[in-house]
Amino acid sequence: MEKPFFREILHPKLENPMFVQGLPGFGNVGRIAAHLLINFYDAKLFAEFYSPTFPDYVSVSSEGICTLPKYEFYFAAMETGNIVIMTGETQPSFDDVLAHYQVCAKILDFIKKLGCTFLVTMGGVPIAEDRDHVYVAATSSRLANDFKEKGAVVYGKGKIVGGTGLTLALAKELKLEGVCLLGSTTGFKADRGAGYQVFKLLMKVLGKEIKEGK
pLDDT tens digit sequence for 6-35: 999 999 999 999 999 999 999 999 999 999
Residue 130 has pLDDT above 70, yes or no: no
Contact 114, 17 (CB under 8 A): yes
Residue 131 has pLDDT above 80, yes or no: no
The CA distance from 116 to 22, in Å, is 16
DSSP letter for each residue of 145-209: HHHHHTT-EE--S----THHHHHHHHHHHTT-EEEEEEEEE--SS--HHHHHHHHHHHHHHTT-P
Residue 213 has pLDDT above 60, yes or no: no
CATH (residue range 15-205): 3.40.50.10900
Residue 200 has pLDDT above 80, yes or no: yes
In a 3-state reduction of DSSP, which class is residue 64?
coil
Contact 150, 191 (CB under 8 A): no
pLDDT at 81: 92
Read off the pTM. 0.94
Q: Considering only CA atoms, which of 12, 30, 42 is closest in space to residue 196?
A: 30
List the domain boundaries for the chain.
15-205
In terms of DSSP bridges, do strands 134-138 and 177-185 run parallel, antiparallel, or are they unpaired?
antiparallel
The CA distance from 176 to 56, in Å, is 33
Residue 210 has pLDDT above 80, yes or no: no
175 pLDDT band (50/70/90 cuts)? very high
| Biggest alpha carbon–alpha carbon distance for the chain | 49
Round the average pLDDT of the chain to a whole number and report it.
93
127 pLDDT band (50/70/90 cuts)? confident
pLDDT tens digit sequence for 37-95: 999 999 999 999 999 999 988 989 999 999 999 999 999 999 889 999 999 999 998 88
134 or 213: which leads in pLDDT:
134
